[in-house]
Amino acid sequence: MDIRNRIEGEVYFVTDTVVDWVDIFTRPVYRHIIIDSLQYCQKEKGLVIYAWVLMSNHMHMIVGSNGENKVSDILRDFKKFTSKEILRILLVESTESRRDWMLNRFEYAGKNDKKITNYRFWQEGNDAQEIYLNDYFNQKLNYIHYNPVKAEIVNREEDYRYSSAIDWAGGKGLIEVMLV
């Protein structure tokens, strides 16, 4: 049975990466902007999350939409909002020790893009790969959940707080996920 028999609509494996792989998500304040924004996209825009992991400088997800909005539109809005909010905090409220260095990297990345006013936070695009088959879904699910183990942050996938691995192991994580 392919994944289409179990999931309505399009399903994608997406990767979003901070420019220059800047390790900004080592601080809870920035991680929670991502979490809150994903929850908002679920509630208000119809984002369906099957799996996710937020690492220090990138995130992976398996996502779909309940049909109200296209996944690409939701992710575009998500990236726009999160970049503005993270940069606002860096510029106005931050006591971040690497603030000037980060802002320099983000400013440099935005200089040659006419769509960017001052700073680029996320790399261009979402590296979206459509999922059709169970094997590919399971491969990406395992890849997502194994990221923190591979990075030697935790020993067991379900012990990483910023991931859906706990949900897939029978527990309750930070974000609602659709288990299939």
Which pLDDT does position 93 carry in this prediction?
78
Output the CA torsion 153→159→164→167 (10° steps): 170
Helix or strand (DSSP H, E) at 54: strand 47-54
Q: What angle do CA 81, 29, 71 make, to 5 degrees?
A: 35
Is the distance from CB of 171 to CB of 31 less than 8 angstroms?
no
Which pLDDT does position 167 carry in this prediction?
98
Tokens of 48: 């369906």
DSSP state of 14: E
Residue 175 has pLDDT above 50, yes or no: yes
Alpha carbon distances (Å) from 121 to 18, 20, 108: 6, 9, 10
The whole model's pTM is what? Answer: 0.92
Q: pLDDT grade, residue 149 (50/70/90)?
A: very high
Which pLDDT does position 113 carry in this prediction?
80
Structural domains of the chain sorted by starting position, each given as residue range(s) with its CATH number in brackets: 3-168 (3.30.70.1290)
3-state secondary structure 102-134: HHHHHHHHHCCCCCCCCCCCECCCCCCEECCCH
- Beta-carbon contacts of 102 under 8 Å, excluding residues fewer than 6 positions away, are 22, 24, 90, 96
pLDDT tens per residue, range 39-84: 999 999 999 999 999 999 999 999 999 988 999 999 999 999 999 9
